[in-house]
Amino acid sequence: MVELYASTTLVWQFGDRFKRDMTALWAGDYKFVEDSRGEHTFFDLFTDPREERNLFSEETELAKEFNRYLDKFRERTPVYQETSSSASPAPIDKTLLRRLRELGYAK
């Protein structure tokens, strides 16, 4: 499982050290996290469920494998692909736009 996480609430409460996006990859007992500053953490959730011991520098080969997998995932996933500033936005389906307005997400 891969998850993208960004929290403006943490920035508001605790300051700029939380101003970053984080992407996490879970597989088996392991969790690999990379943030938008290029920092990495790697945990064995079976032996360390509270994520207190970062194994990134100790389990280098396995951590690199997770990192490679995450890079491949990003290449295949549109949310991670940068778009040109000159690109026009994709058209929104009228039914979807109406529903977003009903929910208060669009005007």
**Domains (range + CATH), the chain:** 2-103 (3.30.1120.10)
Pair 40, 33: CB distance under 8 Å? yes
Q: What is the pTM of this model?
A: 0.59
pLDDT in tens, 53-72: 999 998 888 998 998 988 88
33 class by beta-carbon count within 10 Å (0-12 exposed, 13-18 middle, 19+ buried): buried
pLDDT of residue 29: 92
